[in-house]
Structure 1
Amino acid sequence: MSDTIDCAMDEFGVIRLQLKRPEVCHAINEIMVAELSATLTALGQNERARVLILSGGPQHFCAGTDEHWIAQGCSASADHNFEDALNIARLLRILDRLPFPTIALVDGPAIGLGCGLIACCDLIVATARSRFAVPDARLGLIPAVYGPYLINKIGSSAARRFFLTGEQFNGEVAQRIGLIHEVHPDHATAQKQVEQWCAQILRNSPHALTACKRLITSVEHRPIDDAMISDTAHRMAHIRSHEEAVEGIRAYLQASTPAWAIKNPA
């Protein structure tokens, strides 16, 4: 039983993971970091898992790092602060590298490290009342551990603006710079988008989805040179003989449904 998150997986392998510190707008402390890391690590090893939906409450996604935890760091040793930072960095890497698709449903503010969680997810939908900010510099800090994921999402130009100003921006701006994919009027319509994405994902080969995520991570920001051509050719050659590819092609040729596909989950 967790004190800071709720997590449940249904019969289709859809995992709903909700941040659960409403008294502080789901701000992240050291306990939440540990519980999220342990939960996501276990899910990453669960062969039944097909897709993760990460959300906060109906009014806040995540207020960032807990202010009391930040204050403790001011009087802590360099070694202690380094360990705290490593734990956050490891959590983000676990989320970023989960072998199945991840969806973030953002309803309300996503601030600082909350933006970092979003940047580590594959698909992101937000409501019209959602707000985003990277306010670390206003506290004399920098977004060091989650910054690389944000920069990968929004690019260095947008990062220069929002890291250096600390200003808030809305869902339309977040969509334009690439942080999120969709903006919907309210929670209900955003939830419908999540369910539509889940339905599409569950029609795809789990093995192929894992391979797609690894392909993206491997090739982004690399030149398309001989080494990349060889790497991608090897990936294609390997997956063609995988049992799920054999099943998928057989089903396509026979106009049937592959064994791993789930149609219209309840």
Structure 2
Amino acid sequence: MKNMEYLGCEIMNLKESMPKCNLLEVNLEKEILEISLNRIDVYNALNPELIQELINIFSWAANSCAATAHSLVSESGETLPRVIILKGNGKHFCAGADINWMKDSGEATLEENQKDAKRLDELFYGIWSNPCFTIGLIKGVALGGGAGLVACLDHVIAMDGSKIAMSEIKLGILPAVIGPYVYKRLGSAQFRRLAMLGSRINTDEALRIGFIDEIAKDEKDLEINCNKIISQILTSAPSAIEQAKLLCKTFDDWNGNMMELRDHTLKTTSVMRGGKEGQEGLGAFIERRDPDWYVSNEE
């Protein structure tokens, strides 16, 4: 195959290929992609432009990450992302849907509202199914769609004093679009209870029912806890992380019998053992060395 530069096609570096954002702050440093909601004046409320920017950046990450490329570096030799951090600038993570957007939706047609709902679901599914390991850093409030964002993330650390709510019912609507993702995180009973109450829960309650995974005492502690999780995940095989998510989805969606499921897991195990990462991981274990994807705490 001819060299791309010889053909006059320069390989675009990662940062140049990232989508442009006006309402997000995006920072890529080696394996870590940090995304910050940046509508501080309205507590990072979701509007169509912010939603589309989030869709674009998470889609870019899905297509450009180590898991998808089956490689730790890009064609230009740059380290590919493996972890995504989602947080909000200012006092609050996300106050839900922008009030002006909500007002406009009341006058929109059914087709226009369905289009908005479809875009919102595209966002949530894009986060929930992203091949990268996703971490949420929550402070202030996460309401409505903000709670939906929280539910889609793999690991959530909330600062003490934060509040989460599926507050849609207070407006006479339902948490329908965020529902599948909150339901998967909380289970039927807790989703049903919180969807009807619409009240804000504190970090202790959120931790108890599984809405979050850790509580940080302050912003410094939030960063420390985040770095600990990053250190752990960067010792895990990136493509296997994606496959773990797909395996979980298989269990969620399984319609066959137990024997068929057992057969599926046997085949999956065989494929993973014989794969590139499986061979590297098993070889590293036998040879008493770190696998090639391992990033130590010192790096």
The aligned counterpart of 1:246 is 279
Structure 2 runs not aligned, ≥5 long: 1-19, 66-79
8 Å contact 1:58–1:187 — kept in the other structure? Answer: no
Alignment counterpart, residue 149 of structure 2, candidates 94, 106, 117 = 117
The aligned counterpart of 2:52 is 34
1:169-208 to 2 correspondences below 5 Å: 169-208=201-240
Distance across 1 between alignment mates of 2:289 and 2:129: 32
The aligned counterpart of 1:145 is 177
Q: Give 1:217 shift.
A: 1.5
Distance across 1 between alignment mates of 2:119 and 2:298: 36
Q: Tell me the TM-score normalised to structure 1 length.
A: 0.96
Are residues 83 and 243 of structure 1, via their aligned partners in 2, closer, same or farther at CA, if it must alter by over 3 Å? same
8 Å contact 1:175–1:181 — kept in the other structure? Answer: yes
Alignment counterpart, residue 191 of structure 2, candidates 150, 159, 164 = 159
The structure with the larger Rg is 2
Q: In the comparison of the two structures, how many residue pairs are matched? A: 265
Structure 1 moving runs of 4+ over 6 Å: none
Q: Tell me the TM-score normalised to structure 2 length.
A: 0.86
The aligned counterpart of 1:2 is 21
Q: SS at 2:45's partner residue?
A: coil
Q: SS at 2:92's partner residue?
A: coil
Q: SS at 1:6's partner residue?
A: strand
The aligned counterpart of 1:226 is 259
The aligned counterpart of 1:46 is 64
Distance across 2 between alignment mates of 1:261 and 1:211: 18
Task: State the AA in 2 paired with 1:218.
Answer: T
1:3-18 to 2 correspondences below 5 Å: 3-11=22-30, 13-18=31-36
Residues 83-120 of structure 1: CA distance to partner in whole angstroms, max 9, x if unpaired?
00000001111111101210101011110110100111
Task: State the AA in 2 paired with 1:253.
Answer: I
8 Å contact 1:134–1:162 — kept in the other structure? Answer: yes
Q: Give 1:155 shift.
A: 1.4
Matched, 1:216 2:248: yes
Matched, 1:255 2:288: yes
Distance across 2 between alignment mates of 1:220 and 1:43: 24
Task: State the AA in 2 paired with 1:16.
Answer: E
Task: Report the aligned-residue RMSD.
Answer: 1.3
Task: State the AA in 1 paired with 2:54.
Answer: L
